Structure 1
Amino acid sequence: MHALVAETGTQNSGGMVLLLLPLALLAVMFWFSRRRQKQFAQAQSQITVGDEVTTTSGLYGRLVAMDDQTATLEVADGVQLRFDRRAVVPRSMVIEATPESNDKKA
């Protein structure tokens, strides 16, 4: 009977590892997500008028005005668009594809 108890205990600890592994992976993913959010917020707080920026949807422009709620971008000579400030990030946060990296994929 002791052998049966010992065998059952071993199976339960193996099952416990299988349950804890996804939780550990989820915790790591959450940590990376929070880290990225902090970097994003810090970058947004450092934006000033005159900076080259992009929106979260990919529109590039130069920041010409900004308040607590909105950011105004000049996207072409005389063409200004207003955005929610949270949608504007420094251009340095965007990883741009270069012709060399596109050639390597082919």
Structure 2
Amino acid sequence: MDMLISLSPIILMFVIFYFLLIRPQQKRQKQVKQMQSDLQKGDSVITIGGFHGVVHAIDESTVVIQAGDGTKLTYDRSAIREVKK
């Protein structure tokens, strides 16, 4: 009983740490993976590096993005940060 009381602050810290840091990060990673797997030709995207463009072609691991001037660049799917609405 005395040992449980002495360990309760540490257990409480781990529970708080999980709900404030670990769980939200896991949810965000899941959302990003879902967004990257749902990419379609014609989507307006922003890469991790800040490049804005339109998806021109997609395969399993890469995405070809076309810039406004017609330039086409190939990126890994994981480099896509967000899809603009």
Partner of 2:32: 40
Bigger strand fraction: 2
| Residue aligned with 2:57, SS | strand
Q: Under a length normalisation based on structure 1, what TM-score does the superposition of the two structures give? A: 0.67
Q: What's the counterpart of residue 55 of structure 1? A: 47
Q: Are residue 90 (structure 1) and residue 76 (structure 2) matched?
A: no
Task: Structure 2: state its 5+ residue gaps.
Answer: none
| Distance (Å, rounded) in 2 between the aligned partners of 1:70 and 1:54 | 14
Alignment match, 1:4: none
* Displacement of 1:72: 0.9
Q: For structure 1, which runs of at least 5 residues remain unmatched after alignment?
A: 1-8, 93-106
Structure with greater Cα Rg: 1
SS of equivalent residue, structure 2 residue 67: strand
Name the SS for the 1:19 alignment partner.
helix
User: Which residue does 1:17 correspond to in 2?
Assistant: 8
The one-letter amino acid paired with 1:81 is L
Cα deviation code 1:19-65 (max 9, x no counterpart): 11221122212211111111111111211011101112221110001
Q: Tell me what 2:22 maps to.
A: 30
Report the AA paired with residue 60 of structure 1: H
Give every structure 1 segment of 4 or more consecutive aligned residues whose post-TM-superposition deviation is greater than 6 Å. none
**Normalising by structure 2, what TM-score?**
0.81
Cα displacement string for residues 71-93 of structure 1 (whole angstroms, at most 9, x for unaligned residues): 1111222211111111113125x
Give the Cα separation in 1 of the matches to 2:39 and 2:67: 17
Aligned residues: 83
